[in-house]
Amino acid sequence: MEHPFNKKTGTDHMSGLVIIICFALLANTGLVVAGEEGEEIDWHIVAQNKKLSEKDIKVLEKNGILVTNQAYKQIFEPYLKGTEPFFITSDSLLNAYHVLYEESVLRLEEANANKLPEILRSIHKNLSTVDKKCKGGPELLAAAKKRAVIIIATALRLVDESLRTGDKKLDAIIEQQVKNIVEAKKKWEMPAWLGKPDRTFLGLDYSRYKPRGFYTRSEKLERHFRAVAWLQSIPFRVSKDEELVSVLMLGSCIPRSRFADHINKTVEYENFFRGYQMLIGSGDDWDLITAADEAGSGLRLDLSGDDLANVRRELNEKASKYGEGPQINDQLRFAPDDPNATAEANFRIISAYRTPDGILFHRTTDLRKFERLLPNGLEVCTALGSAFARERLTYKNKAQLLKTIDEAKSLFSGDSLYFGYLECLAALLDEPEKDAPSFMKNAAWQAKSCNTALGGWAQLRHTWALQAKQTVHYAGITMPPKGFVEPEPEFYSRMALLAERTGGILERTHVFEMDYSEKAAMLMEAADLLERTGTRENLNKEIDRVGEEKFKDLKFGFMIMHHVMGRGDRDDLRKPARKLREIAKELRKGKLPQESHLQWILKESQIDLKSLWESLGEISRRLEMLAHKQLRGEDWNEQDERFITSYGARIAKIMLYGGNAYLSPNDDAPRVVDVYANPYIPKGYLHVGIARPRAIYVLYPRQGNRILCKGAVLPYYEFGRDGRLTDAEWKKLLDSDERPAVPEWVKPLICEGGIIKPRLGRDH
- For residue 133, which phi and psi values (nearest 5 degrees)? -100, 5
Q: How far apart are CA 662 and CA 669, in angstroms?
A: 13
Query: Distances in Å between the alpha carbon of 285 and those of 181, 233, 235, 282?
Result: 22, 11, 9, 9
Burial of 219 per CB tally in 10 Å (0-12, 13-18, 19+): exposed
Strand 671-677 with 685-690, pairing:
antiparallel
Q: How far apart are CA 679 and CA 475, in angstroms?
A: 61
Give buried/exposed letters for 624-633 (b at 16+ CB in 10 A, else e): bbbbebbeee
Burial of 460 per CB tally in 10 Å (0-12, 13-18, 19+): buried
Give the 3-state secondary structure of residue 689: strand
Strand 236-237 with 204-205, pairing:
unpaired
Contact between residue 714 and residue 725 where contact means Cβ atoms under 8 Å apart: no
Give the 3-state secondary structure of residue 469: coil
Burial of 596 per CB tally in 10 Å (0-12, 13-18, 19+): exposed
Burial of 374 per CB tally in 10 Å (0-12, 13-18, 19+): exposed
Query: Distances in Å between the alpha carbon of 301 and those of 133, 256, 290, 294, 563?
Result: 7, 18, 17, 11, 44
∠348-351-356 over CA atoms, to 5°?
135
DSSP states along 200-266? TB-BEEGGGGS--GGGGGSHHHHHHHHHHHHHHH--EETT-HHHHHHHHHHHHTS-GGGGTT-HHHH
- For residue 202, which phi and psi values (nearest 5 degrees)? -90, -20
Q: How far apart are CA 346 and CA 519, in angstroms?
A: 54
Residues whose CB is less than 8 angstroms from the CB of residue 625 and which lie 6 or more positions away in sequence, other chains included: 489
Give the 3-state secondary structure of residue 705: strand
Helix (H) or strand (E) holding 319, with range, is: helix 307-322
| C-beta atoms surrounding 226 within 10 Å | 24
Q: What is the pTM of this model?
A: 0.70
How many helices (DSSP H) and strands (DSSP E) are in the chain?
26, 11
Query: Which of 669, 764, 682 lies closest to 722 in space, CA to CA?
Result: 682
DSSP single-letter state for residue 302: B
pLDDT of residue 468: 86
Burial of 186 per CB tally in 10 Å (0-12, 13-18, 19+): exposed
Query: Bridge partners of 512?
Result: none
Task: Tally the C-alpha atoms within 13 A of residue 749's C-alpha that lie toward its C-beta.
Answer: 15
- For residue 192, which phi and psi values (nearest 5 degrees)? -60, -35
Q: How far apart are CA 161 and CA 298, in angstroms?
A: 30
pLDDT of residue 558: 66
Burial of 97 per CB tally in 10 Å (0-12, 13-18, 19+): middle
Task: Tally the C-alpha atoms within 13 A of residue 650's C-alpha that lie toward its C-beta.
Answer: 16
Give the 3-state secondary structure of residue 717: strand
Query: Which of 576, 702, 714, 694 lies closest to 635 in space, CA to CA?
Result: 702
Number of residues written out for the chain: 764
Q: How far apart are CA 420 and CA 456, in angstroms?
A: 13
∠739-742-748 over CA atoms, to 5°?
140
Terminal alpha carbon distance of the chain: 120
Query: Which of 185, 188, 163 lies closest to 175 in space, CA to CA?
Result: 163
pLDDT of residue 475: 72
Helix (H) or strand (E) holding 148, with range, is: helix 138-159
Please list the rounded mean pLDDT of every run of 10 residues in the chain (764 residues).
35 35 36 42 78 87 85 84 75 86 90 94 93 93 96 96 89 96 88 92 90 90 96 96 96 69 71 91 94 86 92 92 86 84 93 94 90 88 94 94 96 91 90 84 88 87 87 66 83 88 85 74 82 81 70 63 64 81 83 77 74 91 91 86 88 83 85 82 87 83 73 86 90 92 84 76 44
Q: How far apart are CA 643 and CA 638, in angstroms?
A: 9
Query: Bridge partners of 12?
Result: 5
Q: How far apart are CA 461 and CA 340, in angstroms?
A: 26
pLDDT of residue 553: 55
